[in-house]
Amino acid sequence: MSRWGEGRKPHVSTEQSRKFVEAMAATKMTQAEIATVIGVSIPTLLKFYRHELKTAALRANATVGATWFQAATGGGKWQDANMTAMIWWTKVHMKAKEPIQEVRHSGAIGSYDITKLSDEDLDHLHAILSRTPLIGHDKRPDEGES
């Protein structure tokens, strides 16, 4: 025994610790974060878990992709297919695009000529605007300057 004590016990990786490291790496945790969680240094993490760190995100993407594909295809049963998954698959993997739609506006866009409004319409507009703060101003139109 050294004068400092026995020191840290050597790390032993287990199937459970490898799965845990893989799960953390799949969620994009950093090596420093993973090392802290399992209580080892980064060099020890790399020594024992390099494969899990390298392949975790790839395996996660493959699993999610396979699940999404199963949802899109219904596992071979069209009745069980998920329409949202099918649409996403065709847009992303088959480069399908939504048809261009022309949008027509039914109302006026732009400025209004308020000189053509009746006195009643002007009073109504004034009532609405006097309750609404103006953008960029602290006072409402009817409060005036002090």
pLDDT in tens, the chain (146 residues): 556 667 778 899 999 999 999 999 999 999 999 999 999 999 999 999 999 999 999 999 889 888 888 888 887 787 888 888 888 878 887 777 777 878 776 666 667 777 888 889 888 888 887 876 655 555 555 555 54
pLDDT value of residue 145: 52
Other C-beta atoms closer than 10 Å to the C-beta of 52 total 22
Residues 6+ apart with CB under 8 A from 41: 35
- Strand, coil or helix: 2: strand
pLDDT value of residue 112: 73
pLDDT value of residue 19: 96
> Measured between alpha carbons, how far is 126 from 142 in angstroms, rounded to an integer?
9
pLDDT value of residue 84: 85
pLDDT value of residue 80: 80
Contact 5, 39 (CB under 8 A): no
Residues 6+ apart with CB under 8 A from 130: 140, 141, 142
Cα three-residue angle 53-59-60, rounded to 5 degrees: 95
pLDDT value of residue 125: 82
